[in-house]
Amino acid sequence: MLTRIVLILGAVASAYISVRALSAPADMIGNLGLAIENADGRNEVRGQYGGFFGFVAIALLLALFGRLPQRFALGLLLLTVGGVLFGRLASLAIEGPAVFAEYSAAVKGFLAFDIVMAALCVWALLIGDGRGHRK
């Protein structure tokens, strides 16, 4: 059950990011304090956020419907949120903890989400379905 919950949360979050990036790249990235200046910028946001997170969402959905191993999907999700979390923590380490106060509520929320999702992925990978065996 935990595995399914984690995969559902990951699929919904990934699909949301993908749809926002594909449909309104300037809006999506503007909420992060960035600006897109031309077609190259829109293409990059659509590719990096829309394409990547879209394929993560598809993989998680395939695992939920039994078309991919759930442990593979959990690993993919952990790699995704873990990589983003690593970058966020590296930013804090490079700029110093005082910069945290400058972060918007959205960025602080993303950091919290990444921490929770990474922890849930590790938990699900370690305990599996809670009955002593892993899918």
Specify if 132 maps to a domain. no
pTM of the model: 0.91
| Domain residue limits at 120 | 2-127
pLDDT at 128: 76
Instruction: Quote the number of domains for the chain.
Output: 1
Residue 133 lies in a domain: no
CB neighbours of residue 73 within 10 Å: 24
pLDDT tens for 57-82 read 999 999 999 999 999 999 999 999 99
Quickly state the pLDDT bin for 133 (edges 50, 70, 90): very low
**Which pLDDT band, with edges at 50, 70 and 90, does 130 fall under?**
low
Place of tokens 């595995």: 3
Task: State residue 132 phi and psi, 5-degree precision.
Answer: 90, 0
The answer to whether the CB of 22 falls within 8 A of the CB of 50 is yes
**Position 112 in a domain:** yes
Distance in angstroms (rounded) separating the CA atoms of residues 62 and 28: 26
